[in-house]
Amino acid sequence: MKQRWYGKLLGFFAGAALLRANPFLGAIVGLLIGHAFDTDWFRLRGDDPYAVLGLDSEASDADIDKAYRRLISQYHPDRYANDPTDIRQRAEAKARDINRAYDRIQTLRKRK
């Protein structure tokens, strides 16, 4: 995965500019906040579409399609049509997450 650096740089200068009484302290705080953004500390953990499919970002298109088909066949709501409501609702939620993750991966791959 490519390392990002621009959050640290922007944080350094923004911190120094915003905390004029002590620009060194502001720069250090800005640098730490920028580092947190660069390393995705503030990103929601459920936000990784590859993790939903049980893959990493280096997976091939064939692996993505295979994982998607396997998971959607396992959690498709039609499989749980005769089961209790709570089980059916969990399957529907999981199928929505799988579809959303697959669509997100397809969108990300088209941009590259």
Domain borders along the chain are 6-38, 45-111
pLDDT cut 70: percent of the chain above it: 91
Torsion (CA) 29, 35, 38, 39 in degrees, nearest 10: -130
Structure tokens at 85: 């409501």
Angle 74-68-46 from CA coordinates, rounded to 5°: 95
- Phi, psi dihedrals of residue 42, rounded to the nearest 5°: -95, 0
Q: Name which of 26-40, 74-88, 93-107 the model is least confident about.
A: 26-40
Task: Find where tokens 């705080």 sit.
Answer: 29
pTM, full prediction: 0.59
Tens of pLDDT along 36-65? 877 767 665 557 889 899 998 889 999 999
CB atoms within 10 A of CB 52: 21
CATH of domain 45-111: 1.10.287.110
